[in-house]
Structure formats: structure tokens, C-alpha cells
Amino acid sequence: MTVNHDCNQDNFLTKFGTSFNKYTDKRIVIRCAAVDDVPVILKLIHQKAEYDGCPDLVTATAEHLHADLFGAKRSEIVLLVEIEDTIAGFATYYFTYSSFLSKPGIWLDDLYLRPEFRGQGIGQTLMQQLCYIAQQSGCERMDWTVATRNDRGIKFYQKMGATIIETVRLCRLDKQAIARQAKETPGVHS
């Protein structure tokens, strides 16, 4: 791979470039998303939600993506995968910190390939790029969730060396729950 893009505005140097898929001889480009990619990112989010069986949960808008991905308070990084100049999928991630390891990590929020690009080694290439980013950033782990019914995804991740941790559960406070709890903060509200 040749260096052709740096997507972290905080001087994080990542090698991106062009390679050829050993399974299909197709040209793969993994690149950081740009502002002009917001419409395609939003479309991919909707496609992933459809695949996950929860299309009604998407409330993302182009305006929010623009602000959160490219604004002053950038919260997540998006990598796009192009196959022969066609967007094949994406990965979104952000950096975390493990108090147990006292080292940074990566939280892989989304990884999605359009159906016609699956089973060709493209997902593996994207995961390898993410591992490279993690290694270059001093990360000692990468975490993500996978749906329990996604047998193909589970097998894919296990083949890559991931451990499926069954002893923990994902916890989430939604916007309303956050507001209720914040309202109860002692000494903040009168």
C-alpha cells in the first residue's frame, strides 16, 4: 500500500492506499471519508440498519453526520471501501481507553459491506486496516458488538482471532434516560 491520505486532523498518521484483492484481483481502496461523502455514508447507515433488522431506529441526518464527523467536535472516524471506484462499504470507529490495560483501544462502531461485496476478502482487508490503525496508535485492543443471530459475522470475527465474550452485556441509556438522570444530578439543578 502506498501512502495517499491522512484522515485524522490531529496529526495521526495512517497509511491508506490501493491494493489488489487476492481473491478477486479487484482494486481495493480504503480511504477516510470526506465531507462530500456524507450522502453515501447516510445511505450505508440505512442499508446496515435494514440488514440488522432495525431500519426504524435510524435517526441520523446529513446535517448531524456533517457536524459529528467533520465539525469541531469530531466524534468518530469513517473509513470507506471502494472496489473499482464503487463504494462497497464502510467502518466507523473511535478511540477508547481501557483502565484495566491503561492503554488506548478502538471501538469499532459499524462495519458493513453491501451484499454483493461479501465473501471476497474485502471485510478482512478492512479489518486488517483497522488493526494497523490500532497498532500504530498504541492500542492494545479493539472491541465491537455482533448480533447474536449473525452467525456469518461471528465466524468471520472468530476466524480473524476475535474472542466472543459471552459474560458481559451491552448497556445503553437513550437520550430520554440520560436527560432523566442528568436532571437528578445533585447540586446542579435547583
Q: How far apart are CA 78 and CA 74, in angstroms?
A: 11
Strands 142-143 and 103-113: parallel
- The strand ranges marked E within 3-152 are 17-20, 27-32, 77-83, 86-98, 103-113, 142-143
pLDDT of residue 186: 82
Q: Which amino acid is at 163?
A: T
Q: Mapping DSSP to helix (H, G, I), strand (E, B) and coil, where does residue 54 land?
A: coil
User: Average pLDDT over the chain, rounded to whole?
Assistant: 87
pLDDT of residue 182: 93
What number is the average pLDDT over the span 133-143?
Answer: 96
| pLDDT tens-place string over residues 7-60 | 654 433 334 555 555 556 778 999 999 999 999 999 999 999 999 999 999 999
Residue 3 pLDDT grade (very low, low, confident, very high; cuts 50, 70, 90): very low
Q: Which pTM was predicted?
A: 0.84
| pLDDT tens-place string over residues 160-174 | 999 999 999 899 999
17-183 fold = Aminopeptidase (3.40.630)
pLDDT of residue 12: 37
How big is the chain by its Cα radius of gyration, in Å?
18
User: Which sign, positive or negative, has the C-alpha torsion 75, 68, 107, 18?
Assistant: negative
pLDDT of residue 2: 26
